[in-house]
Chain A
Amino acid sequence: MSTTAEQQLSTKHLLGIKELTREDIQLILDTAENFKDILNRPIKKVPSLRDITIANVFFENSTRTKLSFELAQKRLSADIINFASASSSVNKGETLIDTVNNILSMKVDIIVMRHPYAGAGVFLSRHVDARIVNAGDGAHEHPTQALLDAFSIRQKFGEVAGKKVAIIGDILHSRVALSNILCLQKLGAEVMVCGPTTLIPKYASSLGVKVEHNLRKALEWCDVANMLRIQLERQDIAYFPSLREYVMLYGVNKAILDSLDKEITIMHPGPINRGVELTSDVADSDHSIILEQVENGVAVRMAVLYLLAGRRSLEN
């Protein structure tokens, strides 16, 4: 029963796409394929992680990601505890390491964490003895979102390699953008970022992506447009004159899609600001795979948790 070339993740944690190899990403997507199949069965649950306890530690608001992780954990039969910083001792001055070590002393194996500061997951992984899954750290990375985006593209087109993906909107404040760029590039796709100069980070071209400031040109170039939300809550200064002007220059509507001489696929990590980056007739059209992305999110997160828990060095 021994295996040839043991297939497992090369990392102990999922901190970012940066730490993953192409093979890791493929393994996660292939495994997610199997979990997606399970999610379509009458009984959508497998007993794989019945001896694993997972803590969802969210220092920042989230609905979709948190629900998706929770559902993934339940489908894998893991025991879960939820922690939201708003109702916790963090408000009494407890440090991150103390908070997490207290959770771990209750015998927790995996921590899924969202944190407003970039690098919080990396920091934690050096100081505590548990698997860490980054569910978003500041404007740094959001690896499971990038994985589910890649999975959705693969599902739509058969493969990611060779596809042209434009990431449009607020690149500067977006953790989804960075993770997506890294993930798509590792899988062999071409990536472009598009948005107003002020919302494109200066280092963008050093990531090997095309930079475009004209929405129409970006749409004409791409197979897939991944629309990002304008993160007003992260914008400490005004990055563009008015929301109305932004919508006129960077909002995608039915008219502009119809005027292209090809069909492109529209993605969005959510939550959508309807009428800003996307109009409703685009978000709800056949072009959009936004709800598929949400559905795929559960399968991809199941794959990540299963593969991290299944790493053979976890021997008890």
Chain B
Amino acid sequence: MKQSILLGGAKFQITLKRLAQQLIENHEDFSDTVMIGIQPRGTYLAKRLQQEIKDISGVRVAAGKLDITFYRDDFRHKGAAPLLANSTVIDFIVEEKNVILVDDVLWTGRTIRAAIDALQAFGRPGSVELLVLVDRRFSRQIPIQPDYIGIQIDSIDSQKVIVRWKETDKKDEVELISDSQV
């Protein structure tokens, strides 16, 4: 097993700040914008970005959590995500808002497809954008592309990308794990 850190330390913080700046650039005062983190791991990123934006511009963006378990297209397949869902917390109106979906890793795109589907249950957003910390490019199974990207990486299917957060894993970093054979 080979492990390598793709992003960590100061660079991790710079990346978060850059993403926050990009959001501010496009959404100004966030009056019609809401941020929704995808459960479970996207919610940490959404929370961090909410804090970064507050630090930079003093605006508190509405942020929620969306669970997509019941919207998956693969829930009966072996090795799929767990059957047990997480909570969904969206205590604001989504109708006609600009929604920024936030997730840690974009891989096949299926999670985001399910998230867009799940989002419809709360209303019809004015627009939906996608922000990811890690984009595993060239591995999409569905035509979905991110609007904001932390880092872009080339990886193969047997590799794993893990994003760690200070809140739960003691430090912020993105790690790539590969089998030693490859």
Contacts and interface: CB of A to CB of B under 8 A. Distances in A.
Interface string A300-315: 0000001101101011
Nearest to A8: B83
Contacts of A76: 70
A310 B69 CA distance: 11
Nearest to B70: A46
B56 interface: no
Contacts of B78: 312, 315
B76 A43 contact: no
A37 B88 contact: yes
Contact of B70 (A7, A34, A314): A34
Nearest to A76: B70
Nearest to A52: B76
A2 interface: yes
A47 B83 contact: no
Interface stretch (B6-14, B116-124, B163-171, B173-181): B116-124
Contacts, number: 66
A209 to B, nearest CB: 31
A76 B70 CA distance: 9
Given A27-B84, A46-B70, A46-B71, A310 B76 contact: yes
Given A42-B121, A42-B123, A312-B76, A34 B69 contact: yes
A35 B67 CA distance: 11
Nearest to A2: B79
A46 B71 CA distance: 6
Nearest to B94: A42
A1 B117 contact: no
B176 to A, nearest CB: 15
A126 B129 CA distance: 51
A263 interface: no
B169 to A, nearest CB: 15
Contacts of A6: 82
Candidate in B84, B87, B118 with the most chain A CB atoms within 10 angstroms = B84
Contacts of A31: 83-85
Contact of A45 (B82, B85, B121, B122): B121
How extensive is the interface on chain B, given as a class?
A: 20 to 34
Interface string A4-48: 001110000000000000000001001100110110011101111
Contact of A315 (B70, B71, B76, B86): B76
A3 interface: yes
A34 to B, nearest CB: 4
B75 interface: yes
A188 B70 CA distance: 30
27 contacts: A1-B79, A1-B80, A2-B79, A7-B82, A7-B83, A7-B84, A8-B83, A30-B84, A31-B84, A31-B85, A34-B85, A37-B88, A38-B70, A42-B122, A42-B123, A43-B122, A45-B121, A46-B121, A48-B72, A306-B70, A306-B83, A310-B76, A312-B76, A312-B80, A314-B76, A315-B76, A316-B76
| Pairs of residues from A and B, 4 with the lowest C-beta to C-beta distance, nearest first | A46-B70, A43-B121, A34-B85, A48-B70
Given A31-B84, A47-B70, A315-B76, 16 more contacts: A1-B79, A7-B83, A7-B84, A31-B85, A34-B70, A42-B122, A43-B122, A46-B121, A47-B71, A48-B71, A48-B75, A309-B76, A310-B76, A312-B76, A312-B77, A314-B76
Interface of B: 67, 69-72, 75-88, 117-118, 120-123
Interface of A: 1-3, 6-8, 27, 30-31, 34-35, 37-38, 41-43, 45-48, 76, 306-307, 309-310, 312, 314-316
